[in-house]
Structure 1
Amino acid sequence: METDCTSGDAAVNTQLPKGTRLLHIGPHKTGTTSIQGALFGAREKLPAYGVEFPATSRHPMQAVQAACSCGGMIGDSAPTERHWRQLVEQVAATGRRTAVVSSEFFADAPDDATAARVVEQLGGDRVHVLVTLRPLARIMPSQWQQYVQNGLRMGYEDWLEHMLRKAPYEKPNPSFWRRHRHDRLVERWVRVAGADRVTVVVVDDRDREGLMRTFETLLGLPAGLLRPVPDTANRSLTLAETEMLRNLNREFRGNGLPDELYSKLIRNGAVMHMKNACSPSSQDVRIPTPGWAVEAAAGIGAEMAERIAGTGVRVIGDPALLSAAPKPSAAPAAEARMAPEVAAQALYGALAAVAAVPDRPATRGVHQTSSRELVKVLGHRCLRRLGRR
């Protein structure tokens, strides 16, 4: 294993050959959104240095979901092969320039054959795979609340029990260990691309812009070209916000409402507006991870770091960080509560999603309809209106 341990502004002599297809596969919660935003924000400056960011959006999520057969988010339209073919064509059009493709959903590739197809269609031996990693103990609370944003109803400690203590560790989210058993993730892509065309970057959370400086070095860009782009829509939820949404998920599922309605009203309505309109304060309680889970995650991290070392890939950063055990979160001194203004913004976001179309009179009186049936009727009616919009 070739290791470059860096910190701060230390230079790393790791520039990739011109014409490389740099394939950043995440996984989730390892700085992917920050990098994608910075690359997209600098896309007009990159060609001056022989680099292109060929995607037409910050994150070509649908294209990658189609390529990796991992489906879309709950209630969203299914990604198609057309999305993937478009991205492949955009990469091919960059010619001899270096092209960067970044999506954490590449980490969801279910097998070697899928990963091999991705590498071959994006450029074959011109592809260099980049894996960004963070300590598992820091990933788990963030990943849990993300699953809640996609409909999960299980509480955090119960979810940790399932992920860490209940074999085969696949319920309720089988994607978690496919993404975050990082040693197996690296091994999968090494089998496809070869160890000499895979680089692992260990993200140091103490250096907020260190990952951007690493990308600049890999791509031969001047220091400081990639800058953070504020993205409130991607912030993590607080404990109170997540618990509010988790309880809403229970009601939603319990009443049998359609997934499409969840996508439009909840995830892309209430939650999205709440995240954009409200920023957590120092008084908001973050999601606390119990000590036993932190220790278990640190142990798994140490095992993963050892196995990654055995693959022969180049590692940038300090592999010891992967087994770091951050101080366990203390239990909240008081019950986590969501501020009234935050709740109001969430409610407004849902209402705004269906406000444009007036009601039609029902053929049967409301008083003649059971509450459960009424909820279903209203849900489907809202969905039809959103479709017409």
Structure 2
Amino acid sequence: METDCTRGEAPVNNAPIGPIGPIAALPAGTRLLHIGPHKTGTTAIQGALFAAKDKLPEHGVEFPAATRHPMEAALAACARPAMIGDAVPTEKHWTRLIEQVEATGTRTSVISSEFFADAPDDEIIARIVRQLGGDRVHILVTLRPIAKIMPSQWQQYVQNGLRMGYENWLEHMLRKAPYEKPNPSFWRRHRHDRLVERWVRAVGADRVTVVVVDDSDRDGLMRTFEELLGLPENLLQAVPDTANRSLTLAETEMLRKLNVEFRGNGLPDELYSKLVRNGAVMHMKNTCSPTGKDVKISTPAWAVEAAGRIGAEIVERIDTMGVRVIGDPALLCSLPAIPTQSGPPAVEARIAPEVAAQALYGALAAAAAAPVRHTAEAKSRTVHQTSSKELVRILGHRCLKKLRRR
């Protein structure tokens, strides 16, 4: 199969883009495992399923997880580390989710976490499938074009401590073999043909469904899940989630430079989790919405073209696997429009004062939730007698000590 890459939302090889036909529902009693990967609408689906949790049973469906996203359970199952500074997931998280799934009995159930896409090898994937029900498990993979995923994934890595700029990061991901630094998880997740192939080896092609997400159809993914699960139309509704919005270029750059200072001063990871990611960044995202004046993260032309070529390879390989594909595969190698360089120079990304203030307040509020008392060490020297680097380190360790005590 030859696949040409196109720009925008135009069809590839004259394939039609529009409403797809009726989707056959999965057999009753199926345990649907949605593995993402990241940046393919997972948060929206998880929020909608969790919001409808009490309505699903009357239609023969259960959402067994106790939270919107059973991230700790998925991380434990895949033997993956936690987000920087977070508590380490344990086997108890995974065992608890298995018990909740088993409690659904013969009813259909759905489990969703993009971190299942991080499963490192066939042995762990086979274990996940076996413990979730073996032959009852059906794998669902949601996919978007690589070119659209790259900027979103980069800023998400920055939220977890990455210090590398976007273009440098693209160089490493696309031009510097073996393409594993600084984020080996990226291609593990987003070389989508290999991702699908790994799970096909575990369950067979007849129990894998690939859904191509069409960004021009805002509710299309919700309707697809409803049809697969045999739910009434419009039962699943999007739940606003400002905390999951992507950062603007200025916000990301501010955070990236903070990451450089944070690492350079040797502060503990737990402090980053408490004060930066779940303090400054979370409060900023919840209180500040991007406007038309904010500069978006822009991918250079060479990287867009490279992503398009990879997308074409992904489409070609998935086409040979025999899995069910819902949606238009041509979208996976469509390329976003690349802004022309003619005209006035691009506006420099600048963080708005109110955005910076909200981020600072978020960090202060997180610190205030665990007030820190002075210790004898602090009283033994004046501020002017202590280097700024040492002051930052002392403050960080004191905050962390108090947070742990609480």
Matched residue type, 1:341? E
Q: How many residues align?
A: 386
Q: In structure 2, do the counterparts of structure 1 residues 256 and 129 end up closer, same or farther at CA, with 3 Å as the change threshold?
A: same
Q: In structure 2, do the counterparts of structure 1 residues 122 and 378 end up closer, same or farther at CA, with 3 Å as the change threshold?
A: same
Matched residue type, 1:210? G
Q: In structure 2, do the counterparts of structure 1 residues 375 and 226 end up closer, same or farther at CA, with 3 Å as the change threshold?
A: same
Matched-pair contact (CA < 8 Å) for 1:8–1:210: no
Q: In structure 2, do the counterparts of structure 1 residues 215 and 6 end up closer, same or farther at CA, with 3 Å as the change threshold?
A: farther
1:374 offset after TM fit, Å? 1.4
Gaps of 5+ in 2: 2-14
Matched-pair contact (CA < 8 Å) for 2:295–2:347: no
* Alignment partner of 1:352 out of 342, 365, 375: 365
1:367 offset after TM fit, Å? 2.7
1:368 — aligned with what?
A: 385
Q: In structure 2, do the counterparts of structure 1 residues 330 and 106 end up closer, same or farther at CA, with 3 Å as the change threshold?
A: farther
1:148 aligns with 2:158: yes
1:320 aligns with 2:336: no
1:14 offset after TM fit, Å? 2.0
1:125-147 per-position Cα deviation (integer Å, ceiling 9, x unaligned):
00000000000000000000000
* Distance (whole Å) between structure 2 residues aligned to residue 7 and residue 319 of structure 1: 10
1:202 — aligned with what?
A: 212
1:85 — aligned with what?
A: 95
Is the partner of 1:94 in helix, strand or coil?
coil
* Alignment partner of 1:249 out of 228, 243, 259: 259
Q: In structure 2, do the counterparts of structure 1 residues 371 and 234 end up closer, same or farther at CA, with 3 Å as the change threshold?
A: same
1:344-380 per-position Cα deviation (integer Å, ceiling 9, x unaligned):
0000000001114253252421233222111111000
Spell out the pairing of 1:70-219 with structure 2 (5 A cutoff): 70-219=80-229
* Distance (whole Å) between structure 2 residues aligned to residue 104 and residue 295 of structure 1: 26
1:341 — aligned with what?
A: 354
Matched residue type, 1:193? V
* Distance (whole Å) between structure 2 residues aligned to residue 231 and residue 51 of structure 1: 24
* Distance (whole Å) between structure 1 residues aligned to residue 138 and residue 380 of structure 2: 62
Is the partner of 1:23 in helix, strand or coil?
strand
Matched-pair contact (CA < 8 Å) for 2:372–2:402: no
1:27-58 per-position Cα deviation (integer Å, ceiling 9, x unaligned):
00000000000000000100010000000000
Matched-pair contact (CA < 8 Å) for 1:6–1:316: no
Spell out the pairing of 1:246-285 with structure 2 (5 A cutoff): 246-285=256-295
Matched residue type, 1:347? L
Matched residue type, 1:262? Y
* Distance (whole Å) between structure 2 residues aligned to residue 369 and residue 325 of structure 1: 53
* Distance (whole Å) between structure 2 residues aligned to residue 107 and residue 182 of structure 1: 10
Matched residue type, 1:364? S
1:8 offset after TM fit, Å? 5.6
* Distance (whole Å) between structure 2 residues aligned to residue 9 and residue 371 of structure 1: 61
Is the partner of 2:210 in helix, strand or coil?
strand
Gaps of 5+ in 1: none
**4+ runs deviating over 6 angstroms:** none
Is the partner of 2:141 in helix, strand or coil?
strand
Matched residue type, 1:212? M
* Distance (whole Å) between structure 1 residues aligned to residue 113 and residue 339 of structure 2: 30
Matched residue type, 2:403? L
Matched-pair contact (CA < 8 Å) for 2:372–2:399: no
* Distance (whole Å) between structure 2 residues aligned to residue 354 and residue 270 of structure 1: 10
2:396 — aligned with what?
A: 379
2:239 — aligned with what?
A: 229
* Distance (whole Å) between structure 1 residues aligned to residue 385 and residue 308 of structure 2: 57
Matched residue type, 1:218? L
Q: TM-score, normalised by structure 2?
A: 0.93
* Distance (whole Å) between structure 1 residues aligned to residue 121 and residue 368 of structure 2: 44
1:24 offset after TM fit, Å? 0.1
Is the partner of 1:28 in helix, strand or coil?
coil
Q: TM-score, normalised by structure 1?
A: 0.97
1:384 offset after TM fit, Å? 1.3
* Alignment partner of 1:69 out of 71, 74, 79: 79
* Distance (whole Å) between structure 2 residues aligned to residue 14 and residue 314 of structure 1: 11
